[in-house]
Structure 1
């Protein structure tokens, strides 16, 4: 396995473990233990940790090492606000250019989200959800914008996983995606953007409530 391949593999493994809570917020990331766990040397592991640090998923404390980033209401609001700004731009540019085949593909990706939601498979749902949304964003034909959006989405993976843990939230995602598809089929950019705003706001409100409740329990 090449260094680049090993780095990609360990990066994917770290993302999954953070997403599923195997590596929980605040956990210290002991490099020797992680290298053994993932079957890689320290070099690709360090590079993967640097990548996650740049995304805000882990933090590096001098003389202490890497830790999984803590989830916070302030961070949640900031990242989702930035996402809203960029997603508005991507959708406004993309929707007028969508062909019927593009919408058919997006509809197929929506089915993938639905199937994962019904199964309660948070990882599969998160991956399918990303494909569904980025099929729209990438259609804008602005690769720099897409890269920035992917960085912000990477930074919200843990929040998204928390949201998907609730069956009611998963059902809500399904119904909201269906409404987006209806608006896409008519190429109604304003409606699609408004539905995305509602979709995003519901996620933020639910996760904010979870984080606030968790903070209260810790205070007690």
Structure 2
């Protein structure tokens, strides 16, 4: 029997994050919600994942199947419509850290004590956030003293470099011998894009928007059967996340992206690989153009703290 008592702390945050991703279409109906992948995705342990899933099951948002685990309910989005999510909590702090880093208000190196004081966090909450940040590749623990933040992806130029790399490897993956995208995968990806065009672009969290794009591109590249293409893309996706969040402020470009995603799926479904590869290369080029247009916004942080900021 699912636990109907409201979750607290990390489990409450996690339940809200999972619900948000379900509402946005990033976790579509029927999706298996395995504990370890969810723990990796949100940077937590398996224990709060289980608590969050039991709570969502009590609300009918997910379904618990004996000996199979939890799955997103068929009517999950309808059930979530009109509900008010709990306060953002750790998610808000995560984005505050990301923005402070991009804005130059966080130094390259900082102690955990200074982080706890700056953001008003407990040791446990900070550990969860830093574990997530480390997994995403923009910070690493310093031996014996605090954490060091990466400076690799804090500029639009670096962001453009990641997309040019993707332009080289992603279209090539579609031309691999034996390329095969499962019909069920096409259906799942199509539903997410249709949900985005139906209004999800405006309501999805930054996390959900990012994950939706990651899942689309990793799914079509993974269908190549060549693990080297997929591993290269996954590595790029982990380390580019930080700067992407600032680019999500302007969501107008996502309408075009969703339409292009659907067009790429149409071509792949028709086995027109060369045309799909050409459209994918053009699609990634459009993103580079959009990033250039947003360069002033993305460069805000490189000028250092505002005069009103305190040390």
TM-score (norm 2): 0.53
The within-5 A match list for 1:132-211 is: 132-211=216-295
Retained in 2: the 8 A contact 1:95–1:184?
no
* 1:137 to partner: Cα distance: 1.4
Distance 1:194 1:74 in 2: 24
Which residue matches 1:32? 113
For 1:132 and 1:202, locate their aligned partners in 2 and report how far apart those are by CA, in whole Å: 16
Kept in 2: contact 1:32–1:42 (CA 8 A)? no
Deviation at 1:153, TM superposition (A): 1.1
Stretches of 4+ aligned residues off by more than 4 angstroms = 4-7, 18-23, 33-36, 41-52, 59-65, 212-219
State the distance in 1 between where 2:261 and 2:251 align.
15
The Cα of 1:107 is off from its aligned counterpart by: 1.5
Q: Report the Cα distance in structure 2 between the residues aligned to 1:95 and 1:117, rounded to whole angstroms.
A: 34
Q: Aligned to 1:119, which of 193, 203, 226?
A: 203
Q: Which runs of 5+ in 2 are unaligned?
A: 1-35, 46-89, 305-311
Query: What secondary structure, in the 3-state scheme, does the structure 2 residue paired with 1:66 have?
Result: strand
67, 70, 73: which is aligned to 2:149? 67
Judge which range, 62-71 or 74-83, deviates more.
62-71
Does the 8 A contact of 1:180 with 1:195 survive in 2? yes
Question: Which residue of structure 1 lines up, in the alignment, with residue 8 of structure 2?
Answer: none
Please report the RMSD computed on the Cα atoms of aligned residues, expressed in angstroms. 4.1
Q: Distance in 2 between matches of 1:212 and 1:138?
A: 34
Quote the residue 1:90 is aligned against.
173
The answer (yes or no) to whether the contact 2:43–2:129 under 8 Å persists in 1 is no
Deviation sequence 1:7-44 (CA, Å, 0-9, x none): 9329xx78x92599454413245423556736528887
Aligned-partner Cα distance in 1 for 2:146–2:123: 23
Whether the 8 Å contact between 1:91 and 1:140 is mirrored in structure 2 is yes
Inter-partner Cα distance in structure 2 for 1:95 and 1:18: 41
Change (3 A) 1:124 1:102: closer
Shift of 1:51: 4.3
Unaligned runs of 5+ in 1: none
- Select which of 130, 149, 156 maps to 2:214: 130
Does 2:98 align with 1:17?
no
Q: Which moved more, 1:133-142 or 1:60-69?
A: 60-69
Give distance in 2, aligned partners of 1:20 and 1:192.
Answer: 38
Conserved? CA contact 1:19–1:123, under 8 Å: no
Q: Pick from 102, 108, 119: which aligns with 2:185?
A: 102
TM-score, structure 1 normalization: 0.71
- Please give the alpha-carbon distance, in whole angstroms, between the structure 2 residues aligned to 1:162 and 1:43: 24
